Amino acid sequence: MESRSQILETAHAVREAGANALRGGVFKPRTSPYSFQGLGEEGLEYLAEAREQTGMPIVVEIMSQTQLELMLNYVDVFQVGARNMQNFNLLRALGETRKTVLLKRGLSATIEELLMSAEYLLAGGNKQVILCERGIRTFETSTRNTTDINAIPVLKHLTHLPVILDPSHATGHADYVAAIARAAIAAGADGLMVEVHPDPAHAVSDGKQSLKPEKFAEMVKQVKAIAEVMGRRIAPIRKSVAVGW
């Protein structure tokens, strides 16, 4: 989330290509305190406008309980990022909201640890939980992270919760995103979260791993074909902001 024009352009492009939800970072966790940290409430307003124009529900990462009251007025789905997967106080608070939570696997977290974090949400009464594999940290340096494709069938076996994969963070490189997206759907993933930017070369963050809109549209066609081979289908574009997966 960089500007109003950037998010609206992206939202319409991905909607046309077949996206069912729109994620934008307005409170951006960054390794360096000097990097772009997001637009805050201004960004939430832009995302709400994008939702109004496209009908897509919006997904926004929450970093702290202090942001909860503000974000409740805007978001449809709370994302808990990899760095906050074991922020148990935040998970308890989100467990009381009854809003959908997208829980990302931590950088070095085991599958059991991911599921125990999900239990904090479920134990609080929130049954609307989505699990997200986004790659784990290993000795390999040729990609940003190491995609744990194994996690998809394992999680599908161990839990009733929907499981999605984030190939953008898993690979860290736009050239590899479509291949891992295809593999995820073949392995049984219920969805994908893919970073898209109209001008990745000039993105303020994660440009290296972001697809251009036309590449995203091509990827959607590919995963649709794989889903059909697996006896599944891409969900139709929803015309309501009600969240359903």
The whole-number average pLDDT for the span 134-143 is: 96
> Is 38 within the bounds of a domain?
yes
- What's the rounded Cα separation, in Å, for the pair 5 and 10? 8
Residue type, 136: I
**To the nearest whole percent, how much of the chain has pLDDT over 90?**
85
- Token readout for 91 is 């998970």
Q: Where are the alpha helices (DSSP H) in the chain?
A: 4-17, 41-54, 68-72, 88-95, 111-123, 151-158, 167-171, 174-187, 213-229
**So what's the pLDDT on residue 34?**
78
DSSP letter at 101 equals: E
The CATH number of residue 45's host domain is: 3.20.20.70
Q: Indicate whether 128 belongs to any domain.
A: yes
Q: Is 174 among the domain residues? A: yes
22 pLDDT above the threshold of 90: yes
Number of domains in the chain: 1
Cα 204 off chain centre by:
18
Chain mean pLDDT for the chain:
93
DSSP 105: P
Q: pTM of this prediction?
A: 0.92
The reply to whether 237 falls in a domain is no
Please check whether residue 244 lies inside any domain of the structure.
no
The string of pLDDT tens digits covering residues 207-240 is 899 999 999 999 999 999 999 999 998 887 665 4
Query: What pLDDT is recorded for position 118?
Result: 98
Task: Tell me what pLDDT residue 38 has.
Answer: 83
Q: Which two tokens stand for residue 16?
A: 């046309």
Q: Give the domain extent around 30.
A: 4-228
Query: How long a stretch of residues is the chain?
Result: 245
Q: Which residues contact 150 (CB under 8 A, 6 or more apart)?
A: none
Q: Is residue 95 part of a domain?
A: yes
Whether 43 is in a domain gets the answer yes
In which band, very low, low, confident or very high, does the pLDDT at 205 lie, cut at 50, 70 and 90?
A: confident
- Write down the pLDDT at residue 121: 97
Residue 94 lies in a domain: yes
pLDDT value for 204: 87
| 11 Cα distance to chain centroid | 14
Q: Specify the pLDDT at position 245.
A: 32
Stretch 42-65: mean pLDDT: 95
